[in-house]
Amino acid sequence: MAIKFNHLYANGILPSSRPKQVSRGKYDFAVAYPDPKSFPTDEIISSLKDAIKANPDYLAIYPPQQGNALLRDYISHKIDRDRSIKVNSDQIILGNGSGQSIDMICSVLLNAGDAVITDQYVYGGTLNTLRRHSAKIIGVKSDEYGMDPENLSHTISKLSQQGTPPKFLYLIPTFQNPQGWTLPLDRRQEILKVCNEFGVPILEDDCYFDNRYEGEPVTSIYDLDQENSVIYVGSFSKTIAPGMSVGYMTGPNEFLDRAMFVKSGRVSEFAAMAVYQYSVNYLDQHISEINEIQKNKRDAMLSALGENFGNKAKWSHPEGGLYIWVEFDDQVDITELHQNSVNDIDVGFHPGTNYSPDGIDGKHFIRLCYGFNQPDEIKEGISKLGDYLAKKGVI
């Protein structure tokens, strides 16, 4: 007799539609990864071969739970050089992408119902992780420079008065996904000050810091912090490729001990060895090459938006990363058009609702990713989208 599972499921486990084969469209501004044509196939293969030859026994035994020591050492030097983050390799934990690190951080800090503060519009993967942990997600409004520290302070004190002070603030300070802005230094300092005053830790998601093609890097919040209050995550998904599935975290030692307690599964040693050897030999050069490519793509999208959307919409001008955030008149509801645009005009994009904590707010925004298509295709696709939106009365 078939077993019925209904009464066996753990609390809070909801049925979720398994991802269908989504039709992507020729002009795919929905995807969130860097130029697939730039994937360094030959160099990854030769790096993996070199790494295995140098340490064949690494694959013959179980890798350390914290992750490959050579790669952790490389990361500790890289984030010191690039972000002035001074930690040793023991203070780095590898994850299957930064997504696993974010999930571990939630496991360490959250009980069901705990409040977490995010931007009003923020990366949907983290929203889903927070939802899985039954967090109460509170979005704080930003302007074109990022999260407003006064709104943040007001939100934290309100939550504290209600008896549910936030467990942490989740921030993507550099090339925010989806809004594209980078928090200037003074905002970072003010946000940190507010959080320190209230004793709220910050989860700094810095997965785009390498993807800068204009302007000067801004100091990481981790570096600004004097109170041991920042947990920091990074990734190789936006520099090498998402398919490598290698990310990392660091933070206060006592926090990392607990993160190791909740860590389940290991990062594939195969992937870690390839990422390590590739990074040592090629990563810096590769980053400057892909940033040049991404800059051209961004420029193509910005100029196409100017030509086709005119003054009927506003959009961000990111200095790096992969996304442009477009705002239409606040009467617009883009959700239905979004569902039809791939079939109608072969153009994919994401609606703003994918990025709001309640999944409802954000109907008059869209996120456009310029990582996938080539500049000419980007121009064609934005022109098609402009005509389509004009026909539907959006612009």
Ligand X SMILES: Cc1ncc(COP(=O)(O)O)c(C=O)c1O
Give contact residues for ligand X (rule: CB under 6 A). 32, 97-99, 123, 125, 172, 177, 205, 207, 235, 237, 242, 247
Nearer to ligand X, 98 or 277 (CB): 98
Q: What does the DSSP 8-state code read for residue 282?
A: I
How many angstroms separate the Cα of 14 from the Cα of each of 17, 102, 113, 133, 140?
Answer: 10, 20, 16, 12, 27
**Chain residue at closest Cβ approach to ligand X:** 97
Q: How far is the CB of 276 from ligand X (least distance, A)?
A: 16
Q: How far is the CB of 95 from ligand X (least distance, A)?
A: 8
Nearer to ligand X, 123 or 325 (CB): 123
* SS3 label, residue 301: helix
Asked whether the bond before 184 is cis by omega within 30 degrees of 0, the reply is: no
Nearer to ligand X, 64 or 125 (CB): 125
Task: Give the gyration radius of the chain's Cα atoms.
Answer: 21
Q: How far is the CB of 214 from ligand X (least distance, A)?
A: 19
Nearer to ligand X, 125 or 375 (CB): 125
Nearer to ligand X, 166 or 234 (CB): 234
Whose CA is closest to 111, among 136, 76, 145? 136
Cα–Cα dist 392/341, whole Å: 11
Q: How far is the CB of 15 from ligand X (least distance, A)?
A: 24
Q: How far is the CB of 369 from ligand X (least distance, A)?
A: 9
Residue by residue, what is the 3-state secondary structure of 173-190? CCCCCCCCCCCCHHHHHH
Q: How far is the CB of 206 from ligand X (least distance, A)?
A: 9
Element of type H or E holding 388: helix 375-391
Q: How far is the CB of 23 from ligand X (least distance, A)?
A: 21
Contacts of 200 (CB under 8 A, 6+ apart): 117, 156, 165, 166, 167, 168, 169, 194, 229
Nearer to ligand X, 152 or 246 (CB): 246
Alpha-carbon dihedral sign for residues 29, 31, 37, 40: positive
Nearer to ligand X, 178 or 386 (CB): 178
Cα–Cα dist 73/64, whole Å: 14
